[in-house]
């Protein structure tokens, strides 16, 4: 799938202009007080840019050139990498790796395990992987937990929303895994 970065970003700009809170993902990441964050599947960088504004050292990775072009235009000072998350090897680790916006649902079918292994490999010992994605769209929580477990991560918390509403089943989940 290819994206139009400017159109994608414009949707969030319209929501923000109408008063919606569009920084729930960043707030949950910030609750863990990270110094370094990898925004994995960063798209136009809307989460990374908010984190950078809040003094976090962020790096963004995405495969889509149009998304990254928008990110680079909006925040040229941030490091953006055009890479596949499946098999990612940046050669460093982060306090938090975040996947916001259904990232595992947009990786080519069959690459989900490699995607999770790729991002989990960038979580430092004691660090966290946070991911939010819709359910009932071909990738289950059991599969995701299994892929995290295979990558050495354990489930620490699960929420129904980025605002940390309690998880009681439903069609969207935000999962927080930790590397022991
Ligand atoms: C719906 S967008 C979310 C963008 C951003 N995280 C946000 O919340 O606004 C999903 C993004 O995941 C990226 N993506 C999906 N699979 C990927 C992969 N295997 N490697 C790199 N990026 C991937 C897509 O290119 C796309 O930019």
Per-residue pLDDT of 72-89, as tens digits, reads: 999 999 999 999 999 999
Q: Which residue has the CA at smallest separation from atom 24 of ligand 1?
A: 41
Is the per-residue pLDDT at 21 higher than 90? no
Give residue 33's pLDDT. 98
SS3 97: strand
Q: Which residue has the CA at smallest separation from atom 23 of ligand 1?
A: 41
Q: For the segment 37-52, what is each residue's pLDDT rounded down to a tens digit?
A: 999 999 999 999 999 9
Tokens of 177: 């895994």
Q: Which one of 3.30.200.20, 3.60.15.10, 3.40.50.150, 1.10.10.10 gives the CATH number of domain 5-178? A: 3.40.50.150
Distances (CA, A) of 100 to 40, 60, 91, 130, 131: 8, 12, 22, 8, 6
Please tell me the distance from the alpha carbon of residue 135 to that of residue 131, in angstroms, as a whole number: 12
Residue in 43, 66, 102, 117 to alter for ligand 1 test, most ligand atoms within 8 A of Cβ:
43
Q: Which residue has the CA at smallest separation from atom 3 of ligand 1?
A: 101
Please compute the mean of the pLDDT values over residues 147-153 and round it to a whole number: 98
Measured from CB, residues less than 6 Å from any atom of ligand 1 are 3, 41-43, 46-47, 62-64, 67, 84-86, 100-103, 106-107, 115
Whole-model pTM: value is 0.98
């Amino acid at each position: 799938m290819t994206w139009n970065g400017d159109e994608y970003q414009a949707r969030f700009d319209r929501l923000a202009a109408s008063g919606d809170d569009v920084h729930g993902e960043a707030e949950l990441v910030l609750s863990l007080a990270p110094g370094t964050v990898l925004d994995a599947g960063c798209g136009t960088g809307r989460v990374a840019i908010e984190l950078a504004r809040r003094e976090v050292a962020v790096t963004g990775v995405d495969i889509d050139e149009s998304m990254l072009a928008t990110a680079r235009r909006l925040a040229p000072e941030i490091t953006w990498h055009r890479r596949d998350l499946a098999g990612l090897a940046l050669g460093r680790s982060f306090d938090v790796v975040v996947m916001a916006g259904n990232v595992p649902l947009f990786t080519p079918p069959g690459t989900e395990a490699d995607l999770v292994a790729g991002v989990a490999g960038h979580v430092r010992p004691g660090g966290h992987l946070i991911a939010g994605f819709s359910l009932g769209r071909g990738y289950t929580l059991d599969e995701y937990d299994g892929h995290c477990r295979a990558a050495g991560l354990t489930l620490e918390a699960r929420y129904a929303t980025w605002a940390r509403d309690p998880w009681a089943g439903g069609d969207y989940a935000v999962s927080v895994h930790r590397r022991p």
